[in-house]
Amino acid sequence: MANESRPCPCDIGDRFDYEGCGQEVEVEHIKAYVCKPAASTDKAVIVIHDIFGWQLPNTRYMADMLAANGYIAICPDFFAGREAWKPSDDWSKFDDWLKTRDARKINKEPVAMLKYLKEQCGAKKLGVVGFCWGGIAVHHLMMTYAEFKAGISLYGLIKDSDDTSNLLNPTFFIFADKDDFIPLHQVNLLEQKLKKNCKVDYEVKTYPGQTHGFVHCRRGDINPQDKPYIEEGRKDMISWLNRYI
């Protein structure tokens, strides 16, 4: 790392050696990775990448997992052609890089993806899943677009000032007990705000002994002690989508 004092939690983790089962498409100005299940379906999920971008094999693996469970899965380039972050980049410049990629202000890309999924894929029931940077984006989208009938935010950074409770549809928040960058007091504050003000179903779940990125950046064969929690997190994702989509 160019700067050991990293201002972001993201770590490439166990980079998956994975080719992917889907294909790349172009939707308006956005490139995207799409994977479809074997049987036809009207259920679709938008997968939002972390800072390492839409081409990261780990994220495509998660999209393929969703497709294997019966969902059309699409992982668009939410950076819209701008470079994703690389582990070798200078972390002292990360804040400036992030300012041009505000997860709380994405709107053109979700609108384009919703249109594509409805018109080109026949989707009628839609959900959204996001990891880290994408987890922040999910929180924003679930307060903005009623079309998303279910959302899953995985270890999305929380600001104490965030308006967190005006969710339009059921949302599941996944956190790690040993996440050095999302203190448990922030997770507790989120839960308190939701309990007080949220009018839709939600769940906040913290997985013991896990670190940031465990669901999509850890391999069970490399980290056998974490395998039960990796598998539990992925199973919980599917269960949430199945319940509400």
Residues assigned a catalytic role: 132, 179, 212
Q: Which of 176, 235, 182, 163 is nearest to 208 (CA)?
A: 176
Q: Which helix (H) or strand (E) holds 92?
A: none
Q: Which residues of 5-24 are buried (b: 16+ CB within 10 A; e: fewer)?
A: eeebbbbbbbebeeebebee
CA-CA distance, 56 to 77, in Å (whole number)? 11
- Residue 225 token pair: 């002690």
End-to-end Cα separation, the chain, in angstroms: 41
Sign of torsion, CA 84 22 118 164?
negative
One-letter identity of residue 18: Y
